[in-house]
Structure 1
Amino acid sequence: MTSPADPVLVIVPAWNEELNVGATVREIRRAGSEYHVAVVDDGSSDATAKVAREAGAVVLSLPFNCGVGGAMRTGFTYAQRHGYRRAIQVDADGQHNPSDIERVLGGLEYADISIGARFSDVGDYEVRGPRRWAMVFLASVLSRVAHTRLTDVTSGFRAAGPRAIDQYVRYYPAEYLGDTLDSLVAACHAGLTVTQIPVAMRQRVHGRPSQGPIGSTVYLLRSVFALSLAVMRRTRPDRRSIADGSAT
């Protein structure tokens, strides 16, 4: 069993975030002394690692860019090896509010995975057009897989309990949207439980994420494709079971 006093590993995946990561790390550390920050420098070409280290984080440097999935699996492996029983992802760009970490962690009292959901009547975060359609569709499908109502399955602001940490070390895909969709499908099929906690998102301080109608349409198509692959991968029969006649 975990207790609120147990240390928590806050995993911050970062790629070329030298302008944001320092402030993010300092804000997380101010939010609670039990929060130990590990920044996974995902092959950055700027001073991300140096800035994060100076702000007080442990820095795990990858030799090249592996994507969020690869960075997070590195973070979960570090958590497992150092005995952390709770870990939470906080993005380096400042959009996840460290004051909400405690609330998201609270979901682990009754579930293995707790998602900080952006579309639960808290805050003014809004997405429109094809990107919003994709998020609604993905949430409806994942809600059936998880056997609970979810509204934001692509949120990276999510916490993991001990069973989820072990699951993520075994399997945490690095492909596009795999870190959110495929990892969640795999966890549910492994018997893990999921809940969501309403949170308010903030605007990125420096830099700008890709947007626009073309980007949103591409997101829609790629996300539906990614989810289809994840579901098929988890539901297709094992070839060895078919070979020995044990499949039903």
Structure 2
Amino acid sequence: MPTASPASPRVLVVMPAWNEEESVGATVRSLRAAQPGIDVLVVDDGSSDGTAAEAARAGAIVCPLPFNLGVGGAMRAGYRYAVQHGYDVVAQVDADGQHDGAYLPELIAALDSADVVVGARFAGRGDYQVGFVRGLAMRLLAAVLSRLAGTRLTDVTSGFRVINRRALHIFATHYPAEYLGDTVESLVIALRTGCTVRQVPVEMRPRAGGRASQTPVRAAIYLARAVIALGLALVRRWPTTLEHPPKEHV
């Protein structure tokens, strides 16, 4: 159950994790040390290693999925858990240790003027580097979504973000499961349903465990998929407002 006091927003960190045994425990402990008043839900996305056990050992609530759904499916399960248990704010944090929990208060404070706040790597903090092709895709996506949002967004594929209750009820029902949908399409959904999106500059850390899988070929595939994902997100029809909140069950 939420541990925040009644006067404070109830905050849940949802951490999707697939075969992150090497890093998830340290990531959970780091979050709990930096922000002791929040709860951490690790959604074990059908892992074949000890991810669930390591997360539980570190003090997280664990939601095991029977098979791999991808980040979008794992996050939708997390959002439904948050609705069921009455949380006011939900943060998405990666299990590989790249997202620094010390930034969470700053991201949460920005919800005073937004429904979705993205922790942005390319907004003046740190020196996060990506390859040319992947960077090109990110800039293209950011340019289109900035126009849609009416504000400058530099890192629309960032998985480090927080949302309020308004966005939570939308995402618990409509959060996309497709590749890149959990980042790009989810922002389109938020904007099309009347939510306000803004960003806060953050510095991200190297992976705490495992290894990245980027190669020139995969970067090219990423670019193609990113363009397709954005195109599909823009042509799909979404309600201008959420007429009915989702049923509160996971």
Give the TM-score of the pair, scaled to structure 1: 0.92
Find 2:67's aligned residue among 61, 64, 67: 64
* Structure 2 residue aligned with 1:185: 188
Structure (1 or 2) with the larger CA radius of gyration: 1
- 1:226 is aligned, of 216, 226, 229, to 229
Unaligned 5+ segments in structure 1 are 236-248
- 1:194-233 counterparts in 2 under 5 A? 194-233=197-236
**Cα shift at 1:161:** 0.3
Provide the C-alpha distance between the structure 1 equivalents of 2:163 and 2:149, rounded to a whole number of angstroms.
15
User: Which letter does structure 2 place at the counterpart of 1:84?
Assistant: Y
Q: What residue identity is the alignment partner of 2:51?
A: T
Query: Displacement of 1:144 after TM fit?
Result: 1.3
Aligned to 2:148: 145
2:128 is the alignment partner of 1:125: yes
CA contact (8 A) 2:35 2:101 kept: no
The code of the aligned residue for 2:230 comes to L
User: Is 1:104 paired with 2:107?
Assistant: yes
Superposition deviation, residue 100 in structure 1:
1.1
Distance 1:92 1:163, change over 3 A: same
When residues 3 and 142 of structure 1 are mapped into structure 2, their CA distance, relative to the original with a 3 A threshold, is farther
Q: Distance in 2 between matches of 1:36 and 1:230?
A: 31
Residue identity over aligned pairs, in percent, reads 55
Give the aligned residue type for 1:50.
A
Task: Report the Cα distance in structure 1 between the residues aligned to 2:194 and 2:214, rounded to whole angstroms.
Answer: 35
The equivalent residue for 2:165 is 162
1:93 and 2:81 are equivalent in the alignment: no
> How many pairs were matched up?
235
Label 1:153 to 1:4 Cα distance change in 2 as closer, same or farther (>3 A).
farther
> In the alignment, which residue of structure 2 is the partner of 1:48?
51
Find the partner of 2:17 among 14, 18, 21.
Answer: 14
Aligned letter for 2:95? A
Instruction: Report the secondary structure of 1:116's partner residue.
Output: strand
Please provide the CA RMSD for this pair: 1.6
Deviation (angstroms), 1:33: 2.2
Per the TM alignment, residue 49 of structure 1 is displaced from its structure 2 partner at its CA by 0.5
State the TM-score, normalized to the length of structure 2: 0.91
Q: State the alpha-carbon separation in 2 of the partners of residues 231 and 210 from structure 1.
A: 28
State the secondary structure of the residue aligned to 1:76: helix
Q: Any idea what the Cα deviations from partners look like across 1:167-215, whole Å, max 9, x if unmatched?
A: 1011011110000111110110000000100000100021111112111
The runs of 4+ residues in structure 1 deviating greater than 4 Å are: none
How many angstroms apart in 2 are the aligned matches of 1:167 and 1:70?
14
Matched letter for residue 93 of structure 2? V
Shift of the 67–13 alpha-carbon distance from structure 1 to 2, 3 Å rule, reads same
Report if the CA contact (8 A) 1:14-1:91 is conserved: yes
Is 1:37 paired with 2:70? no
Partner of 2:176: 173
Verify the 8 A CA contact 2:110 2:117 in the aligned structure 1. Answer: yes
